[in-house]
């Protein structure tokens, strides 16, 4: 699945969120597997939701805040995406209990990937696909 991260210039969060959502809606018209729109900027995600509510959204964060789950739910997200060192089994379970998928970035070594897979992570973002193989895990 494709993840499109919305990275607006400061002060253009809403404009960028709307523009990206409209372009994704246009480019993926009639396609069943829609890309995931994600951003660290809540207002960009909210604007994307208003512009194209059918597109799946995810809230990005470096470390979970006290209200990360409520924020993701308020934005109508289908997933959260977090920096892998900040994710523990508790956060993964909380998100799953709320019906959200959990993705993590940037995992470039097999050891943390195996731990994350063993603890229920739904997806991993990596810069080093060549370091992983189908034999890395029994969860192919």
pLDDT over threshold 50, residue 139: no
Give the tens place of pLDDT for each residue, 27-66: 999 999 999 999 999 999 999 999 999 999 999 999 878 8
Distance CA 137, CA 113 (A): 9
Distance CA 59, CA 78 (A): 9
pLDDT over threshold 70, residue 101: yes
Distance CA 113, CA 124 (A): 8
Could you tell me how many residues make up the chain? 140
Number of other CB atoms surrounding residue 131 within 10 Å: 13
Q: Would you give the distance in Å from CA 81 to the centre of its chain? A: 4
Q: Tell me how many degrees the CA angle 108-111-115 measures, rounded to the nearest 5.
A: 110
Model confidence, pTM = 0.88
């Amino acid at each position: 699945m494709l993840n499109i991260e919305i990275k607006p210039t400061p002060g253009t969060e809403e404009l960028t969120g709307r523009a990206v959502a409209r372009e994704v809606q246009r480019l993926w018209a009639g396609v069943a597997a829609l890309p995931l729109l994600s951003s660290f900027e809540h207002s960009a995600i909210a604007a994307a939701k208003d512009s194209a509510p059918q597109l799946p959204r995810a809230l990005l964060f470096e470390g979970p805040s006290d209200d990360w789950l409520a924020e993701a739910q308020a934005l109508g997200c289908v997933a959260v995406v977090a920096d892998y060192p900040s994710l523990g089994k508790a956060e993964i379970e909380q998100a799953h209990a709320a019906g959200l998928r959990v993705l993590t970035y940037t995992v470039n070594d097999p050891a943390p990937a195996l731990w994350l897979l063993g603890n229920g992570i739904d997806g991993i973002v990596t810069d080093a696909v060549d370091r992983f193989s189908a034999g890395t895990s029994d969860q192919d």
